[in-house]
Structure 1
C-alpha cells in the first residue's frame, strides 16, 4: 500500500498535520528548505519513506540517518516553549500523523480498510516507527488506544501554525520543478506562470480534502459541500484508473523493485516447498 502512487495524494495532508504541532511547525519553519527547494525536499522525503518500508537492511541505516539529521533541530516553538526535534512526544507525532490521514484517504482513493486490516496496518506503522528510533512506549500500543491519543492531540496541541497556513494557501509562490529531463524542466519553467496558480489550488484542495474532518476542524480549515462533491468526483476517477495501470506506472520505484524481488523469491522457494 505504501508504494501505490495514490499515496502521493495523501502526503500533503500528512505533512500539514505534522507541522500543525507547535514544535514541528517551528522546526520546519526555521530549518526546512520546503520554501526554496520544495521539489528536492519532496523527492528526498519520499525516497526516505520508501526506504523505511522497502529498503531491507538499508532501512536501518536510513532510520539512523533521519535521527542524526534531527539532532541539531531545536529552538522555541510557536507557543514560546523550548523544543527539540527528538523529544519523544514530538518525534512520535510526526510519524503518527500519517496513520489517520492514510486511514481516511483510502475511503476515497481505494477500498476502505476492514477492522482486521486497520489493526494490521497500525501494527506495521509501529514497526516502521521502530526503524526511525521511536520506542514502543512513545506510541499508543494498539489502534484502540491510538484514537483517544489522536483526539487529545487535536484538542490540546495542534494549531494552524504559520507553516500550516502557507501549505494550504492558494497564492503562495512556488518555484518551478527542477527534476527530470532538461527539456521538460525548460518547458515547465516557461509555462510555470500559467501552471503555478492551478498547481497551488490543486495542492490546497487535496491537502484539505484528504485531511480527516476532525483534524480539519481543529485547524479551522474550511471545506464546503461543493468541494466535497468535487473531491468525490476526482477520487472516483483515480480509484477507477490506478488499479488498471501497468505496474511500472502504479508503483513507486522502490516498491516495484521490492515486488519483483518478492515474486522471484516465491518462485525460487516454490520447488523447495513442494519437495
Structure 2
C-alpha cells in the first residue's frame, strides 16, 4: 500500500500536517526549534524530507543506508524543551512519535485527497507496512504499538497528555506570508516564481495554513488548540474532490515523484521478463 501511495504527488500535501503533529510534542518541537533550518531553508528542508520518505519505500538497499544516516544525524540533537526538561532526539519515546504521526495523518487525508477512506483490512495492512518502515529507521518492536488496535489508545494518550501548541507548531500552522521564494525546481519554473513571489507569497501562505490545519485529524487539531470552522471544512472537501479527480487523470510520470515512477517502471520490466 505504501508502494502505491507514498510516490503519489498527493502525498506532498500530507507532509505539512504530519510535521505539525510531530512538533506539537514539546521534545520534538524543541529539537526542531534548536537544530532545524526550517525557517531559513524551508524549501530545502521539504525537499530532503520528501526525498527521505521516497527512499524508505522505493530505495531498496539505499533505504537501509538512509535509516542509518538519519539516526546518525539525530545523535547530536539534544537540549532542553520549553518546560525545562532535557530531551534527546533518539529517545525511543520521542523518536517513535515522529514516525507514528504519519499514520493518522495519511489515514485522515485519504478520504479527502483520494476520494475514499481505507477499509479496515487496508488500514491494518498500511499500519503493518509503516511498522516495517520504522524498523528501517531503527525503531524496535517495543518502541511502537504493534497493531492498529493498540495504536489508537497510545495515540489518544499522547494527544491527551503530551501534545500542545508548541512554538514551532504555532509557526507551522500560522497564516504567515514570510516564506522565502522557492529556490528548488527547474530554472524555467523557479525564475518566474521568484519574480512573482511578492504577489504569490500571501496566497501560498494561506493555502499552506489551510492544508496543514485541515488535513490534521480533528482530534489532533483539538489537542493542539487549533480552530477549524464548518465553512473551512466545506472548502476542504471541495478542494479534496478537485485534487482527487484531477490527479488520477495525469500521466504516470507526472502523477508520481521521479524516484517512485522509476521504481514502478523497473518493477514492471522485471515482471515482464
TM-score using structure 2 length = 0.96
Once the two structures are TM-superposed, the CA of residue 22 in structure 1 deviates from its matched residue by 0.3
From 64, 67, 88, give the equivalent of 2:68: 64
Residue segments in structure 1 that go unaligned for 5+ positions in a row: 269-275
Does residue 211 (structure 1) correspond to residue 216 (structure 2)? The answer is yes
Give the equivalent residue in structure 1 for 2:38: 34
Residue segments in structure 2 that go unaligned for 5+ positions in a row: none
Once the two structures are TM-superposed, the CA of residue 202 in structure 1 deviates from its matched residue by 0.2
Task: Verify the 8 A CA contact 1:67 1:133 in the aligned structure 2.
Answer: yes
Gap change, CA 1:6 and 1:183, over 3 Å in 2 = closer
Does residue 180 (structure 1) correspond to residue 185 (structure 2)? The answer is yes
Q: Distance in 2 between matches of 1:95 and 1:175?
A: 28
From 123, 129, 132, give the equivalent of 2:134: 129
Task: Verify the 8 A CA contact 1:27 1:74 in the aligned structure 2.
Answer: yes
Give the equivalent residue in structure 2 for 1:233: 238
Q: Distance in 2 between matches of 1:235 and 1:45?
A: 23
Structure with larger Rg? 1
Task: Verify the 8 A CA contact 1:24 1:90 in the aligned structure 2.
Answer: yes
From 119, 122, 140, give the equivalent of 1:117: 122
**3-state SS in 2 of match to 1:141:** coil
From 2, 10, 16, give the equivalent of 1:6: 10
User: What is the RMSD of the two structures over their aligned residues, measured on CA atoms?
Assistant: 0.9
TM-score using structure 1 length = 0.96
Deviations 1:159-199 (A, max 9, x none): 00010110111124111000123343332222111100100
